[in-house]
A and B are shown apart, each in its own frame.
Chain A
Amino acid sequence: MLRCEGLFFNEPTALMVTANTELTYNSKIEGDVVVSRADAVINWVRTNSMWPMPMGLACCAIELMAVASSRFDIARFGAEVMRFSPRQSDVMIVSGTVTYKMATALRRIYDQMAEPKWVIAMGACASTGGMYRSYAVLQGVDRIVPVDVYVSGCPPRPEALIDALVKLQDKVKRERSAQKLFSS
């Protein structure tokens, strides 16, 4: 019987386990302190539970529902909690055609979201007005709210929206969050 770090192993292969391959935090080895950058910690927290505000305005919203459902399951990326209250949301997914009549309501909802907040323009209509070259349609939601990620497609595949979310997570990971937090 071999003894290794206070644990008993029967298999000889357990000898290959060393302290350096621990994937989780081990207080016995590192003590009760973890040293990291504030940016890394804040961004780690922010990226992995982005609650979407489902701004479903047209057929893209059907794909948005598919993204949230079992087959594509955006819960794998921590964004399954669709909040219909803007005050609880982090990322607004504008999925559909934004008419001028809706545009002011959309801006109001965006204003009610708490910082930090992000916007995904899902599909051709939200990105550029799409095929609606019309007197009634806002030609791109970036005219009224700042957009972080644009998704092409009419409507986009669910995978495209998941890709957009992952790209947004990459963007959030690179943000200077601590600087923003303490300078304001």
Chain B
Amino acid sequence: MSAETVAALKARFPQVSDRPSLDHPAVNAPAGEVPEVLRALRDGFTFDFLADVTAIDWSQGRTPRFTMVYHLYSTTSHEYLRVAADCPSDTDPVVPSVTGLWPAANWHEREVFDMFGIRFSGHPDLRRILMWDGYPHFPLRKDFPLAGIEAPLPDPDVVAETGVSAKPAPMAGGPFVASAGEMNLTEAEPRAKDESWTERREKPGA
């Protein structure tokens, strides 16, 4: 079923190509044609459920740097399909919104905008959803450290009273990860595996 879907989709959209995938079938599509491709999948191939909208940052220096990922589900054939689209610009990525196809895309795209800084043309309400309005960074970009970057808090009266700002979190040698497969619980305790990227030392190559 999925193979036929992908073949039929590629016949209809010559720009769509196969994408390597370990689990569900996946295709690449040009970012500008994502709404048409998704509309065809929704209306013609029963992929009527938008399970997730997310993005990938391939790290600075890579072209294309950002890739949009859409996870579709068919409530008829109970299959997943993944559509990926490379964003055309590495510095100011803009892709068309799919809120017109699924209202559920609204908050997903806001989250992608909040975390990656990818803007969506045609989005009805493109505001940050997790971080506060006016936060200057995009936390899930690869050049953003886990501990964070100092940034002012949004309420001037609270800041005036407390003098608090969003500061980098003390990583204490982290990030901490548990080693998989260790049977000895003492050895398997979460501990610092990679000390090369903390608030004191920048990530190499950043």
Contacts and interface: CB of A to CB of B under 8 A. Distances in A.
B167 interface: yes
Chain B interface size, as a band, is: 20 to 34
A135 interface: yes
Interface in B105-148: 130-132, 137, 139, 144-148
Contact of B164 (A108, A111, A144): A144
B164 A137 contact: no
Interface stretch (A20-28, A68-76, A96-104, A148-156): A96-104
A92 to B, nearest CB: 15
A136 interface: yes
B169 A137 contact: yes
Contact of B170 (A100, A111, A138, A139): A139
A171 interface: no
Given A133-B147, A133-B174, A135-B148, A107 B162 contact: yes
Contact of B139 (A107, A108, A136, A144): A136
Given A101-B132, A107-B161, A107-B162, A136 B148 contact: yes
B43 interface: no
Interface of B: 130-132, 137, 139, 144-149, 153-155, 158, 161-162, 164, 166-172, 174-175
Of all A-B residue pairs in the complex, the 10 with the closest CB atoms, nearest first, are A135-B148, A104-B155, A133-B169, A104-B158, A100-B166, A101-B132, A107-B158, A144-B164, A144-B162, A135-B139
